[in-house]
């Protein structure tokens, strides 16, 4: 039986067991990746709980005849946290302990308990192109010798990691700083043209795309946690389909956008109108510093601005949403570090057009919200590969601001619809009978 999205078009089969070590290769060793790594180490030692990770604390409806919801990790064969091993590339030479101390996401007392394990994770030199990231003093980079040479170096690092850790399966996760905004063109439109551009050292191929290409040709699943264009470009999606590799992205949905995908469906469900939604953020981590560059900020804004129109569908409801104004600001404010603060002013209208307002002040911790999403994604995309799935994994849209889709369809942004699609896919992989609802049908118009 075929599913309603192209990420699960193969016949439903039970996933192969998650035997052996699972290697997590992170592009970037900053706030998010160190929070993920240290968090996994802490949970393994009983020093904390994996709050926010559906794979660890979530449940899905069980098989017929079982009335109670079943923990996700009992429904499907996920990799154990004890089997995860980590490697990373970064533009700075700091090991995971030093990088985590600089990021100031986790408390020093916890980091010192994990210090030996964190210090053992030392980054490989990263691929750096100053045309795409402007606000980083990159001191730990590979000499620029062309795209093909960079790919060979990535291959060498991956092979070294396999040999040193004994990892049987690998996942590449992009947590690097946001690259500057650039339009996609014919270079990115098909795999043949993309590979010709690689051979010519075309500057339209970014570092994020190089890492994704290197992983895909080794049949390593790729997750893009950033707003940068990487594995989502048509050429690399074509490659993922041809090589039967699952991929997911882009831009993790953590704070302000998470609230938008909760509130906007509620307004729509009650036929309340929207005149405008003004959002502003301050943050002071490395991500905020990079986004202080207007060209990088434009990449982020493109991702954040698409959500409301996707949910509210102004063309179907012009009287309610045809003219709403949506503004997003992000400001770098170093004293706040990773503790992002977001304000939203929402102008709505109701009966006879009378105006009302909603105001939200969300004081969140950016990487604390993102780390459990990253954990879920690496475990679930590994599950997808063991289940024979390939291409864009639309059922993982729950985790992203700009979810990857296939065949030119519009992505679903409604959080409840995304959650239902996610659960239906988990149950399908588990071999349970699904309830027939999914992201496509749950968008009630």
Over residues 94-101, mean pLDDT: 97
3-state secondary structure of 344: strand
For residue 337, name the pLDDT band (cuts at 50, 70, 90). Answer: confident
User: pLDDT averaged over the chain?
Assistant: 90
For residue 65, name the pLDDT band (cuts at 50, 70, 90). Answer: confident
Non-local (6+) Cβ contacts of 54 within 8 A are 72, 372, 376, 422
- Helices and strands (H, E) in the chain, number of each type: 16, 13
Superfamily of 6-252+367-430 according to CATH? NAD(P)-binding Rossmann-like Domain (3.40.50.720)
Residue 328, φ and ψ in degrees, nearest 5: -130, 130
- Looking at residue 444, its pLDDT comes to 30
Residue 143 buriedness (CB in 10 A; 0-12 / 13-18 / 19+): exposed
- In a 13 Å sphere around the CA of 261, the CA atoms on its Cβ side amount to 29
- Looking at residue 13, its pLDDT comes to 65
Over residues 107-124, mean pLDDT: 97
For residue 291, name the pLDDT band (cuts at 50, 70, 90). Answer: low
- Looking at residue 179, its pLDDT comes to 87
Non-local (6+) Cβ contacts of 163 within 8 A are none
What is the widest separation between alpha-carbon atoms in the chain? Answer: 68
CATH architecture of 256-363: 2-Layer Sandwich (3.30)
- Looking at residue 14, its pLDDT comes to 75
Residue 282, φ and ψ in degrees, nearest 5: -125, 140
- Looking at residue 285, its pLDDT comes to 73
Most confident of 103-107, 175-179, 243-247: 243-247
H-state helical runs in 185-233: 191-199, 207-217
Tell me which of 3-17, 237-251, 298-312, 399-413 is least confident.
3-17
Q: Where in the chain is the domain with CATH 3.30.360.10?
A: 256-363
Say if residues 32 and 367 touch (Cβ distance below 8 Å).
yes
β-strand pairing of 21-27 with 84-90: parallel
- Looking at residue 51, its pLDDT comes to 97
Q: Which residue has the higher pLDDT, 3 or 128?
A: 128
- Looking at residue 302, its pLDDT comes to 67
- Looking at residue 6, its pLDDT comes to 43
- Looking at residue 330, its pLDDT comes to 86
% pLDDT > 70, the chain? 91
For residue 441, name the pLDDT band (cuts at 50, 70, 90). Answer: very low
Q: Which residue has the higher pLDDT, 377 or 64?
A: 377
Q: Which residue has the tokens 């999914």?
A: 438
Tell me which of 33-42, 60-69, 184-193 is least confident.
60-69
Closest residue by Cα to residue 223 from 243, 202, 204, 245: 245
Alpha-carbon distances of 55 from 60, 256, 259, rounded to whole Å: 10, 23, 21
Radius of gyration of the chain (CA): 21
- Looking at residue 66, its pLDDT comes to 82
For residue 299, name the pLDDT band (cuts at 50, 70, 90). Answer: low
- Looking at residue 4, its pLDDT comes to 40
Q: Which pTM value belongs to this model?
A: 0.90
Say if residues 252 and 229 touch (Cβ distance below 8 Å).
no
For residue 9, name the pLDDT band (cuts at 50, 70, 90). Answer: very low
For residue 305, name the pLDDT band (cuts at 50, 70, 90). Answer: confident
For residue 440, name the pLDDT band (cuts at 50, 70, 90). Answer: very low
pLDDT per residue as tens digits for the range 138-173? 899 999 899 999 999 999 999 999 999 999 999 999
């Amino acid at each position: 039986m075929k599913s309603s999205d192209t990420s699960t078009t193969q016949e439903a089969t039970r996933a192969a067991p998650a035997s052996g070590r699972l290697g997590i290769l992170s592009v970037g060793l900053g706030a998010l990746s160190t929070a993920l790594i240290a968090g996994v180490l802490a949970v393994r030692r009983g020093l904390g709980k994996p709050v926010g990770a559906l794979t660890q604390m979530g449940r899905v409806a069980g098989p017929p005849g079982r009335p109670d919801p079943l923990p996700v990790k009992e429904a499907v064969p996920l990799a154990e946290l004890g089997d995860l091993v980590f490697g990373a590339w970064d533009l700075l030479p700091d090991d995971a302990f030093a990088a985590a101390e600089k990021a100031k996401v986790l408390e020093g007392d916890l980091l010192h308990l994990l210090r030996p394990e964190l210090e053992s994770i030392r980054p490989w030199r990263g691929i750096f192109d100053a045309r795409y990231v402007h606000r980083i003093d990159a001191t730990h980079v590979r000499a620029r010798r062309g795209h093909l040479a960079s790919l060979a170096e990535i291959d060498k690092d991956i092979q070294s990691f396999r040999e040193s850790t004994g990892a049987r399966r690998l996942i590449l996760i992009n947590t690097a700083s946001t690259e500057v905004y650039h339009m996609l063109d014919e270079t990115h439109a098909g795999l043949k043209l993309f590979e010709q551009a690689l051979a010519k050292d075309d500057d339209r191929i970014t570092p994020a795309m190089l890492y994704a290409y290197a992983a895909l040709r080794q049949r390593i699943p790729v997750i893009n946690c950033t707003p940068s264009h990487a594995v989502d470009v048509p050429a690399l999606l074509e490659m993922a389909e041809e090589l039967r590799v699952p991929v997911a992205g882009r831009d993790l949905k953590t704070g302000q956008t998470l609230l938008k995908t909760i509130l906007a469906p509620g307004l729509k469900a009650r036929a309340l109108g929207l005149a405008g939604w003004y959002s502003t953020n301050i943050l002071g981590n490395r991500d905020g510093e990079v986004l202080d560059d207007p060209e990088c900020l434009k990449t982020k804004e493109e991702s954040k601005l698409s959500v409301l129109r996707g949910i509210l569908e102004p063309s179907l409801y012009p009287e309610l949403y045809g003219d709403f104004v949506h503004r997003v600001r992000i400001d770098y404010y170093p004293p706040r570090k990773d503790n992002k603060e977001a304000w939203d002013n929402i102008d709505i209208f109701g009966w006879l057009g009378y105006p009302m307002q909603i105001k939200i002040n969300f004081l969140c911790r950016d990487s604390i919200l993102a780390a459990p999403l990253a954990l879920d994604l690496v475990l679930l995309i590994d599950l997808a590969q063991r289940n024979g799935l390939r291409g864009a994994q639309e059922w993982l849209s729950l985790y992203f601001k700009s979810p990857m889709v296939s065949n030119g369809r519009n992505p679903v942004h409604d959080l409840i619809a995304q959650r239902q699609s996610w659960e239906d896919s988990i149950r399908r992989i588990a071999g349970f009978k699904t309830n027939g609802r999914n992201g496509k049908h749950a968008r009630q118009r």
